[in-house]
Amino acid sequence: MDVTDPIKTQGMCQGNTAAPAAWTVTSIPMIAAHKRRGHGAHFIAPISDITGHIVGGLFVDDTDLVHVDMRTVETLLEAHSRLQESVINWGSLLIATGGALKPGKCSYYLISFRWKADGTWVYENNTIRPDLAIGVPLADGSLAEIEHLPVESAIKTLGSMTCPTGSSASALGRMQQQGQEWADRVKSGKLSRRNMWFMMDRQFWPRVGYGISNTSASWEQLDQCLRRVYWQLVPRGGVRGTAAVPLRQLDRGFYGIGSCTREWNASLLKWQSYSYTTNVNQASESRCKSPWNSSSRS
């Protein structure tokens, strides 16, 4: 006799105020169990020998699993094997809670370096090797292969375009695309001059400037990124399009046109401060890098 369970279960819907707390109490034991198996990233400070162990980064349904072990020197195949074990373990923990990894939304990077005769290194192209495939566990016990991304390929994570090489091309391209789409809507609409500037401060910059603080672009790249968009927008605000570029991008507090908001300029200054600190410490940081690294995103 077949018995049908009348109770239908589902995850907590978007907007449910209990969902963040529910995911917190669910993910904490998952993280602890994952670390207990030794998965994640093991770091060692080069001077103090202080150790650190993290699983990766979790934000709601975005999870970045990381594998790197500075306690030993791994070959590429060893790093690949341990990454696969990590993905299987995490996927199994998720299945145990009633969830599952969706293969179509999962991808991974396998990062290794090839040393040249002059002592410099380049990234190896591991995507051409079928023996380096990674699969995620499904509820039926099988493994579903996921996409192997080249290290220079950027994907959107929490609204920002990032890739392991640190290239900012995709992030800048996304900013330009969003800026142009917004400018096209303004040109096809009938906003007054006053409302155009108001909407630029309240809608344009929160959208386009999101994630600017974590970009790796140079100051010159950021300065030139949206010049064409500014040129299209300032006439809609009652300013001649032939106005000088520095004047268009100068804040209104300094008697400029104000295409850039104070928040944008503050983000640029914060980025410049971080970039200066990073460049000063670049030599010491480079010595901390492991020759093998791998990460998986789901």
Whole-angstrom distance, CA of residue 231 vs CA of residue 89: 52
Percent of the chain residues topping a pLDDT of 70: 83
How many other C-beta atoms can be found within 10 angstroms of the C-beta atom of residue 266?
Answer: 12
Whole-angstrom distance, CA of residue 16 vs CA of residue 63: 20
Give the pLDDT confidence score for residue 236 in this predicted structure.
Answer: 87
Band of the pLDDT at 58, cuts 50, 70, 90?
Answer: confident
42 beta partners: 53, 69
Per residue in 197-223, pLDDT (tens digit) is: 888 888 888 888 777 777 777 778 887
Q: Which residue has the tokens 């670390």?
A: 35
Where residue 174 falls (left for φ over 0; alpha for ψ -120 to 50; beta otherwise) is alpha
**Average pLDDT estimate for 244-255:** 79
Band of the pLDDT at 259, cuts 50, 70, 90?
Answer: confident
Per residue in 109-126, pLDDT (tens digit) is: 999 988 899 999 999 999
**Average pLDDT estimate for 243-261:** 77
Helices (H) and strands (E) in the chain, counts: 10, 12
The pTM score is 0.74
121-123 and 143-145 strand pairing: unpaired
Give the pLDDT confidence score for residue 292 in this predicted structure.
Answer: 41
Percent of the chain residues topping a pLDDT of 90: 35
Domains of the chain: which residue ranges? 23-151, 169-282
Residue 188 has pLDDT above 70, yes or no: yes
Side-chain-facing half-sphere of 110: CA atoms under 13 Å: 25
Residue 276 has pLDDT above 80, yes or no: no
Residue 66 has pLDDT above 80, yes or no: yes
10 Å CB burial of residue 183 (0-12, 13-18, 19+) is buried
Give the pLDDT confidence score for residue 281 in this predicted structure.
Answer: 39
